[in-house]
Amino acid sequence: MEVYDLVILGGGTGSTIAAWTFAGQGQRVAVVERKYIGGSCPNIACLPSKNIIHSAKVASYFRRSEEFGIAKRDFTVDMEGVRTRKRNMVRALNEAYLDNYEKTGAELILGSGRFISPKTLEVTFADGRNRRLRGKNVIVGTGTHAALGAIPGLAEAQPLTHIEALELDKTPGRVIVISGGYIGLEFSQALRRLGSKVTIVARDGRLLPGEDEDISEALRDLFLDEGVDLVMNAEVKRISGKSGDSVRVLLEKNGGPKTLEGTHLLAAMGRVPNTDGIGLELASVEVTGSGYIKVNERLQTTAPGVWAIGEVAGSPQFTHVSIDDFRIVHANLTGGSRVTTGRQVPFCLFTDPEFARVGLSENEATARGIAYRLFKTPMEANLRARTLTETRGFLKALVEAGTDRILGFTAFGVGGGEIMTSVQIAMNAGLPYTALRDAILTHPTLVEGLIPLFSAVPSAHAAAGVAKASA
């Protein structure tokens, strides 16, 4: 039995930063990770997907070249080259992470871990060897994996998940994407731009149905303009064939059957927590009905000295939240007090253009009966967007009625994530919207577009929305 101050099961982003930080502060720390140095984000999720999305953006520029006055030449997409660029980035990140493990003194143990008793893990290596580790504290950050729904024939069709989709060495001919969510949307646009025919099959009537309608509509228009087929309000009933060869998807739409045919199937149907088979019951760590680890607002599990962070703890599914979860555990282990309750979670969908939001949407404000003034301008009002010929989309902000407090901000437009972050910083600093309106912002930047936004006359929709909520 080897004894550590801190043992971490699963080496995602929050876990990795926890290891480096605690080790840097003199603790003896071990991270048990079965496959990915740094976890999902740098290997199979955020960063490789954004890398490939950028290659797809370059392909889109080639296709649009005449708009920019550049003579159009034939071009080909070399998926092996796309993959090599992505692999090089991932390799460099892995090396940088290993370097940091060495610098901080945290130990990375590449093996599969499971609890065998309270605060005690057994690690099994590929060659069958074992090690047993006991931590004064233990953090579980085992993340989630792609869900494959119980659709007859789905598992047999061996669909692509994000993992395989990021390793393609040939452009798929015709991809059927089962998903109307974030991951499916990002991949659909990228694959289309890289040359695939793409059909999205979604159960709801609109894309991202939890968001405001103007966002769903803008996304629908974007996808249709890019030549992605949308099959909405559809229930997948059965799948036959094999992805990579040929697949048939039988679905029900408007009460009638419909069949889609494709070469590849991409399943982006949600996530399942990695809690099965890791001995949580032997360590008194309880899980929820849907299999996530039960935690309180400090991210303590039901077992003393055992903490859970990131997706496996049921936290919002973003890397920046995995990092914030680490901060919460760190604060609570070092005499501070920090909680998950009420925290602000911004996000960005990395379609082109991006959709980013922080704070309240109109739907949320309306549902809570919060009165607001709505500021909304098209991206055409953003002069930098005009210089780029990227004027699709809009910016909108909700400002509290009766005060100048910014309640929420949404961007659907080029650089949306960066513009949103500027507003988020103002919100965090408690600045009124007038501080952005009246600032001297560099011309022509995308963030400068906040001046026309906050100078616009607020729309009457807001009052109507609140009246509806209070009726």
Ligand X SMILES: Cc1cc2nc3c(=O)[nH]c(=O)nc-3n(C[C@H](O)[C@H](O)[C@H](O)COP(=O)(O)OP(=O)(O)OC[C@H]3O[C@@H](n4cnc5c(N)ncnc54)[C@H](O)[C@@H]3O)c2cc1C
Catalytic residues: 443
**At closest approach, how far in Å is the CB of 12 from ligand X?**
2
Closer of 355 and 433 to ligand X (Cβ) = 355
Rounded to whole angstroms, the Cα distance separating 320 from 134 reads 28
Neighbours of 25 (CB within 10 A): 12
Q: How far is the CB of 205 from ligand X (least distance, A)?
A: 25
Determine, following the binding rule CB under 6 A, whether residue 266 of this chain makes contact with ligand X.
Answer: no
Q: Are strands 406-413 and 354-359 parallel, antiparallel or unpaired?
A: antiparallel
| Cβ proximity to ligand X, 181 vs 241, nearer residue | 181
When binding is defined by CB under 6 A, the residue of 21, 55, 142, 189 that contacts ligand X is 142
Residue 45 interacting with ligand X (CB under 6 A): yes
Min CB(53)–ligand X separation in Å: 9
Cα separation, 376 vs 409, whole angstroms: 10
Binding-site size, ligand X (CB under 6 A): 38
301 near ligand X, rule: CB under 6 A:
no
- For position 113 contacting ligand X by CB under 6 A, the verdict is yes
Q: According to the binding rule CB under 6 A, does residue 4 interact with ligand X?
A: no
Query: CB-wise, 33 or 212, nearer to ligand X?
Result: 33
Query: Structure tokens of 394?
Result: 């809009």
Strands 130-140 and 2-9: parallel
Q: Which two tokens stand for residue 312?
A: 């496996």
278 binds ligand X (CB under 6 A): yes
d(CA 7, CA 91): 25
Please give the Cα distance from 90 to 23 (Å, whole number).
Answer: 24
| 204 closest CA partner among 269, 151, 155, 140 | 269
- Give least dist CB 170 to ligand X, A: 20
Taking the C-alpha atoms of residue 63 and residue 82, their distance in angstroms, rounded to an integer, is: 17
Per-residue binding string, ligand X, 363-402, x by CB under 6 A, is ----------------------------------------
Q: Which is nearer to ligand X, 41 or 267 (CB)?
A: 41
- 320 counts as binding ligand X under rule CB under 6 A: yes
12 binds ligand X (CB under 6 A): yes
- The SS3 of residue 24 is helix
If the CB atoms of residues 312 and 397 are measured against ligand X, the closer one turns out to be: 312
Contact between 355 and ligand X (CB under 6 A)?
no
SS (H, E, C) 51-87: HHHHHHHHHHHHHCHHHHCCCCCCCCCCHHHHHHHHH
Angular region, 310: left φ>0, alpha ψ -120 to 50, beta rest: left
Among 5, 24, 28, 46, contact with ligand X (rule: CB under 6 A): 46
Compute how many other C-beta atoms are within 10 angstroms of the C-beta atom of residue 1: 7
| Least Å from the CB of residue 114 to ligand X | 6
Interface residues for ligand X in 229-248 (CB under 6 A)? none
Give 318 or 433: the residue with its C-beta nearer to ligand X: 318
Least distance in Å: CB of 146 to ligand X?
7
Which position has the token pair 């969908």? 349
Distance (Å, rounded) from C-alpha 40 to C-alpha 10?
A: 10
Spatial distance between the Cα atoms of 118 and 263, rounded to a whole number of angstroms: 48
Nearer to ligand X (CB atom), residue 19 or residue 427: 19
Q: How far is the CB of 9 from ligand X (least distance, A)?
A: 6
The correct pick among 4, 10, 160, 466 for binding ligand X (CB under 6 A) is 10
Distances (CA, A) of 300 to 295, 309, 342: 5, 9, 17
Over the window 17 to 36, marking each residue x when it contacts ligand X by CB under 6 A and - when it does not, the resulting string is ---------------xxxxx
Binding range to ligand X, per CB under 6 A, among 127-135, 139-147, 173-181, 363-371: 139-147
56 Rama class: left (phi>0) / alpha (psi -120 to 50) / beta: alpha
Candidate list 159, 184, 262, 310; residue touching ligand X; CB under 6 A? 310
Compute CA distances 351 → 65, 90, 226, whole Å: 20, 21, 12
Closest listed residue to residue 454, CA positions, set 413, 399, 388: 399
Q: Which of residues 162-181 bind ligand X (CB under 6 A)?
A: 162
- One residue of 11, 153, 458, 465 binding ligand X per CB under 6 A: 11
User: Contact between 83 and ligand X (CB under 6 A)?
Assistant: no
Residue closer to ligand X (CB basis): 349 or 370: 349
> Does residue 317 belong to the site contacting ligand X (CB under 6 A)?
yes
> How does DSSP classify residue 128?
S
Contact 429, 363 (CB under 8 A): no
Q: How far apart are CA 43 and CA 323, in angstroms?
A: 16
Contact positions toward ligand X, by CB under 6 A?
Answer: 9-15, 32-36, 39-41, 45-46, 49-50, 112-114, 141-143, 162, 183, 274, 278, 310-312, 317-320, 322, 350
